[in-house]
Structures are given as C-alpha cells and as structure tokens.
Chain A
C-alpha cells in the first residue's frame, strides 16, 4: 500500500499547484487596481502617491511569475493577504469560520453515508418489492428538489409551524439538523442509487450464489457478503461528493445564517473581496483534494487485495 500511497501523493502535487495557480489568476484578473482597492476601504479616496507606494509595497510592479512565487511563498507561510472588506487577515477570518463549515460538512457526510448506504442496501435487499419502489421514488424526489427550496420548506414546517427546530444560527447539533439534511439531500440520493446498483452487480456474481448455498438469509447475503465489495465504488464517490457539499454549503449557510466559509465566500463575492475569495478557493480546493485522498485510503482498507499485509500464504 505504501508505494501506492506515495504515488498518489505525488500525483496530487500538480493538482494542488493548479489550484494555487487558479487562485492566483483570480486575484490577478481583478478589475481595478488591487492597491487602490486595498486603500479605498470605507469611502476613503487614496491619492496617486499613496497608490504608487502601495503598489510598490504589494509587489505589483514585479513581473507576474515573480508575483506568483512571492504570493505562493506567503501562502505557504499561512499569509493569505488582507480582506479588502474588513481589513483583517483572510487566513484568520477563514480559520474562525472554517470549523462551522466543517461541522456542517461532517454532519451532512454522516447523513449521506447512513441514509445513502442504508436506503441503497434496503432497496437492493428487497429488489423489485414495494420497499424498493418506495425508496426509488424518495430518491427521485430528493434529486429533483433544489436545495434552497427544500431549505425554505423545512424551515416553514419544522421551525415555523411545528416549532421543533431553531430557524437558523449556529449552536448545538439541533442547529445542524436541518442544514445538514438539506445539504445531504442530493448526495444521499446519489449514494443510495449507486449503492443499490453496485450491490445488485455484486449479488449477480458467483461468490454470492456460493454464499446462498450456505443457507444464509437475504440480509446476511446483502450486508455481510455483497456490501463490503459494493462499498469500494461507493466510497470513491463519497470522497468526491465532499467537494459538492462545500459548494452547496454556500447556499445552505446563507439560508440558515451559519457563519461558515460558504457564507463568507458569498459576502466576498458581493463585496468584490478578491483576497478573501482567493483564500476560499485555496482552502476548499485543498480540502477537496485531501478528502479524495482520504476516500482512497478508506477504499484501500476495504479492499484486501491492495492492503499492505497482502502476502502469499
């Protein structure tokens, strides 16, 4: 496994490099002068001299590749620049907000795994029966509902009418329930669908026929025999869906007023706060790449054929 992991890590380097380049280009393409933008916070109009000084200070007179290297060097030291909007270091603002998004993503991922794999397994175990058809319908509904609409609908029902859950804000798990349900709606539907089809494919294989000849029940066949093998493609897909969750968190965080990096990015867009957006792109890009790696490692753990202890007996 180790050589595989090292190869994988090396293959991630160009991806990370690409993300950083994209983030840099995003900043470089800023309409207007960054030095002027940095100075003109709060209605203040800087003089030409102040702008020239600032340009010198920010290294804007250097050639672009040099600017990239300087910028990348600062990023590696954890300096993501200063927000045009608030005047605070972007890294500090992101780090303050990141735990909220992380909590939201973790809850949504947990729901995606449990609902997705659970529903998919139930559907495959009862293939062609009523349960399977009901789950199929639920999946289709989940997939066709837009997140913001589902969010509003849930607020209306659970918060306004039934008053079971808080409308919005950050707090305990109660505050996370509705946002993570909304955020995981389409992901868990896709997971359920993939789990079902992967299970049905495994169930058609010879080793499942052989397992049935041991006189075991349907659930044992599906859960103990087919699921560990079906979990390999499902895990890979779950790793990729984390990226979609980070994107989706922009909508969910603004609807439920959660102070995470999604709503931060939305504010940054509204205020043309390019350093903040750059930081957001870098952070989510890195998280996406790392979650793919994590999914790979879990996938390996599930597949004994590429586990490290794979020695011949």
Chain B
C-alpha cells in the first residue's frame, strides 16, 4: 500500500485492514480496507460520525475485537506486527487504552486500587513499590489525596473522577502509545475541557503518542495535530490541517454541518452498518460525484505534503 510502505517506519501502521462481524443475520463489514499511519510522537485524531467504524478500528489495533469478528490485514506497532497471540503482552506496556464510557469501563465490584494494581502487574514491582506508584499516578491525574480514592469503588466517584482514574490505569506502565476511545462521550462542556487537559497531562507520564477516537471536533482541534476522517468503514482523508482546510468533499460537508459552521446538513443518509461500496462510500451523497466515483475506489492521492485524500478530484 502507498502509505504503509516501509517496515522500518515507526509509529502505528495499519495496512489493508478489513473487519467483519459474523452476526446471526449475516456478516457485517465494519472496516473496509483501512490503511493509515499514526506517526510516533504525535496525537492523531480519528473523527467521523457514529457507525463509521472508528471504534472498531481502535479495538482492532488493540487486538480486542469480539470473538465473532474476523480481521484481515496487518497492524504494526513500532515495526513489529500486532498479532492476536503476542499483542496481549504488549498491551498496557507499549499501548494503553483509555476506554469510552468511564462508568461502564470500571469494574463495579473492584476498588480503584485493584484496577491500578492490576494495570501495574506487567512491571513486576514489589507490593510497596506498587502502592507507591498507584499513589503517584493518582496524584498526577489530579487527586491530591489519593488514599481515599484508592479505597473507593467506581460508583462512589463522579464521571470526571472515573475518567481520570481510567487515565491513571491506562498510563500505569508508562506506555509510549495511548489509544483514547471517545474520551468526551456523554460529558458536559466543562468536563470536556478537563478531559483535554487530562489527556495532555498523559505526556508527563511517558506517553509520547496518542490516537484519539472522537466525534468531538473541539477536542480534536485542541488536541490533535493530525486528523483522519472516517466514513463508511474507510479513511477518506488524513493530514495535519484537515479541520481548517478540508480537501475531501465529505470532510468539507462534515465540517459545514457543524452548528458553528452553519448547520448545513449533508443530503441523503449515512451508510448503514456494513453497507458495501464498489466505489467511494460517499459517492451517493456527494455533490461532485461522477459515474466513475460509484464504480471505482479512489486511490490514496497526495495533493499536499503529509496529506492523503481518497478522492478523484486530486488525481
């Protein structure tokens, strides 16, 4: 593939990734030949509407797809393939997750301490070191008095506190990579600002690079240098200035549909889960679409440095 050329490239490289869910009513294809490069040392945002496949991409990178899913293609982390057999040992240590829905992502019958200590297991610390590190982590994420928090159960914490606990858990082993899945989903405005700060403070814990899956463009703008736009199980555009200067017709329409940009809704309806396209997935709704767009899948074009757009406009 064009983007994932060299094996020596650092960062996360996704190459030709397709994911299908085998459901009783038939197979549903959630990802359709996704290729992307998430460079080391950067925060990359994956944006898109609900159902575009962005969370599935996150789960696939972590190797945590449910058992009824099958995946094709390769995912490389720092030059080594992430395969189901070996990925587990790298989770937590090299690649941490900050899951979506904080209240559902913490185990209701275990204390915060149990969560953090479990996350610290790969480091093989002594009991005392583990307790120290747990306190240290909580203070780093805005709990000046960590001891009552360590003893608390998830339901005793507010949503914002749960989110910060999950950040501490994800950062426990100081992984170089963090994947944050919808970190602001369901949070109010003030908390969203707080989450952005918390995510940035991950950098103080040894985290160098992040993939942030979100539909919150404010967060994406505030946090990410690079953006990948997903639609219908594919990445249509990636690059550094996508939010200010979108090139793909879908990116333009998506941004124009935001309340602050005039609320112009995109004609037509978003593709249903697993809908398949022989051409560009956006073609049925695209004002610029030609016959060819419905027939052929656009390759990855590079109209600008670091920018990849899958649209025949840039051929």
Q: Residues of A at under 8 Å CB distance from B?
A: 127-128, 204-207, 209-217, 220, 224-225, 228-229, 302-305, 310-313
B109 engages A213 (CB within 8 Å): no
A215 engages B105 (CB within 8 Å): no
Partner of B118, one of A205, A211, A229, A310: A211
Residues 103-136 of B at the A interface (beta carbon under 8 Å): 104-110, 118-119, 121-122
B89 engages A215 (CB within 8 Å): yes
18 A-B interface contacts by CB (under 8 A)? A206-B99, A207-B105, A207-B106, A207-B107, A209-B59, A210-B105, A211-B107, A212-B88, A214-B172, A215-B88, A228-B110, A229-B107, A229-B108, A302-B109, A304-B155, A305-B108, A310-B156, A313-B161
A300 to chain B, nearest CB (A): 12
Top 10 A-B pairs, shortest CB-CB distance? A213-B97, A215-B92, A215-B91, A206-B104, A228-B109, A210-B105, A210-B99, A304-B153, A214-B119, A313-B152
Q: Are A209 and B67 also in contact (CB < 8 A) when A214-B119, A228-B110, A313-B157 are?
A: no
- Complex: chain B residue closest to A213, CB-CB: B97
Partner of A204, one of B66, B149, B161: B66
Q: Are A214 and B108 also in contact (CB < 8 A) when A209-B64, A305-B155 are?
A: no
> How far apart sit A106 and B89, CA to CA, in the bound complex (Å)?
43
Q: Chain B contacts of A217 at CB under 8 A? A: 88
B91 engages A214 (CB within 8 Å): yes
B169 engages A214 (CB within 8 Å): yes
Q: Chain A contacts of B92 at CB under 8 A? A: 213-215
- Complex: chain A residue closest to B101, CB-CB: A206
Q: Chain B contacts of A305 at CB under 8 A? A: 108, 153, 155
Asked if B62 is at the interface (CB within 8 A of a chain A CB), the reply is yes
Q: Chain A contacts of B93 at CB under 8 A? A: 215
Q: Count how many chain B residues have C-beta atoms less than 8 Å from C-beta atoms of the other chain.
A: 39
A225 engages B91 (CB within 8 Å): no
> How far apart sit A217 and B169, CA to CA, in the bound complex (Å)?
17
Asked if B148 is at the interface (CB within 8 A of a chain A CB), the reply is yes
Q: Which residue among A128, A215, A220, A305 has the maximum number of chain B CB atoms within 10 Å of its CB? A: A215
B110 engages A225 (CB within 8 Å): yes
Q: Chain A contacts of B62 at CB under 8 A? A: 212-213
Q: Which residue among A128, A206, A207 has the maximum number of chain B CB atoms within 10 Å of its CB? A: A207
B104 engages A207 (CB within 8 Å): yes
Q: Which residue among A127, A204, A214, A220 has the maximum number of chain B CB atoms within 10 Å of its CB? A: A214
Q: Chain B contacts of A127 at CB under 8 A? A: 67
Bitwise interface map of B from 149 to 167 toward A, beta carbon under 8 Å scored 1, else 0: 1001101110001000010
> How far apart sit A304 and B151, CA to CA, in the bound complex (Å)?
12
> How far apart sit A206 and B182, CA to CA, in the bound complex (Å)?
13
Q: Chain A contacts of B155 at CB under 8 A? A: 304-305, 310
> How far apart sit A127 and B67, CA to CA, in the bound complex (Å)?
10
Q: Which residue among B92, B108, B109, B156 has the maximum number of chain A CB atoms within 10 Å of its CB? A: B109
Asked if B100 is at the interface (CB within 8 A of a chain A CB), the reply is yes
A120 to chain B, nearest CB (A): 18
> How far apart sit A313 and B155, CA to CA, in the bound complex (Å)?
10
> How far apart sit A313 and B157, CA to CA, in the bound complex (Å)?
7
- Complex: chain A residue closest to B111, CB-CB: A304
B132 to chain A, nearest CB (A): 19
- Complex: chain B residue closest to A232, CB-CB: B109
> How far apart sit A7 and B100, CA to CA, in the bound complex (Å)?
37
Q: Chain A contacts of B109 at CB under 8 A? A: 228-229, 302-304
A236 to chain B, nearest CB (A): 15
Q: Chain B contacts of A209 at CB under 8 A? A: 59, 64, 99, 105
Partner of A214, one of B118, B148, B153: B118
Asked if B90 is at the interface (CB within 8 A of a chain A CB), the reply is yes
Bitwise interface map of B from 36 to 71 toward A, beta carbon under 8 Å scored 1, else 0: 000000000000000000000001001010110000
Partner of B105, one of A206, A220, A310, A311: A206
With contacts A213-B99, A213-B170 known, what are 20 further pairs, Cβ within 8 A?
A: A206-B100, A206-B104, A207-B105, A207-B108, A209-B105, A210-B166, A212-B64, A213-B96, A214-B121, A214-B169, A214-B172, A215-B121, A220-B118, A224-B118, A228-B110, A304-B155, A305-B153, A310-B153, A313-B149, A313-B156
Q: Chain B contacts of A214 at CB under 8 A? A: 91-92, 118-119, 121, 169, 172
Q: Which residue among B105, B122, B152 has the maximum number of chain A CB atoms within 10 Å of its CB? A: B105
> How far apart sit A212 and B172, CA to CA, in the bound complex (Å)?
14
> How far apart sit A302 and B91, CA to CA, in the bound complex (Å)?
29
Q: Chain A contacts of B172 at CB under 8 A? A: 214
A313 engages B67 (CB within 8 Å): no
Q: Chain A contacts of B122 at CB under 8 A? A: 215
Q: Chain A contacts of B64 at CB under 8 A? A: 209, 212-213
> How far apart sit A212 and B149, CA to CA, in the bound complex (Å)?
23
- Complex: chain A residue closest to B175, CB-CB: A215
Q: Chain B contacts of A311 at CB under 8 A? A: 156
> How far apart sit A206 and B185, CA to CA, in the bound complex (Å)?
14
B99 to chain A, nearest CB (A): 4
